[in-house]
Amino acid sequence: MSYLQNLDLAVQSWYPLGGRGYNLEMMNDPLIKDLAIKYQKSPAQIILRFNIERKVIVIPGSKDRDHLRANLDIFDFGFNAEELKLLAGLDRHEKHDWY
């Protein structure tokens, strides 16, 4: 990702919340759940905010109006350097949902 960003290319995440069948593990990760409690946000909002802070364009999908609103409610908090480092450590370099 940083290689692309260093070339001034935008990085997009089409399934920032894991995609079909891959989101439960992310949403239940202890670090994500702890940060959700700390910032009074949902696990999905924690994940979306993390991507935004890494300058990744997120494209979460939902047909639910409340989820759509919640996906936008991520700009009133931010992570400290240690939290960003811990969140980055969760990356497994996996890709899901090839469509």
pLDDT 10s digits, 24-70: 888 899 999 999 999 999 999 999 999 999 998 888 878 889 999 99
Q: Is the pLDDT of residue 15 over 70?
A: yes
Q: Is the pLDDT of residue 98 over 60?
A: no
Q: Are strands 56-58 and 11-13 parallel, antiparallel or unpaired?
A: parallel
CA distance 76 to 99: 33
| CA-to-CA dists, residue 89 to 20, 35, 42, 67, angstroms | 23, 14, 20, 26
Which DSSP symbol is given to 11?
A: E
Average pLDDT of the chain, as a whole number: 85
> Three-state SS for 52?
helix
Amino acid 99: pLDDT: 47
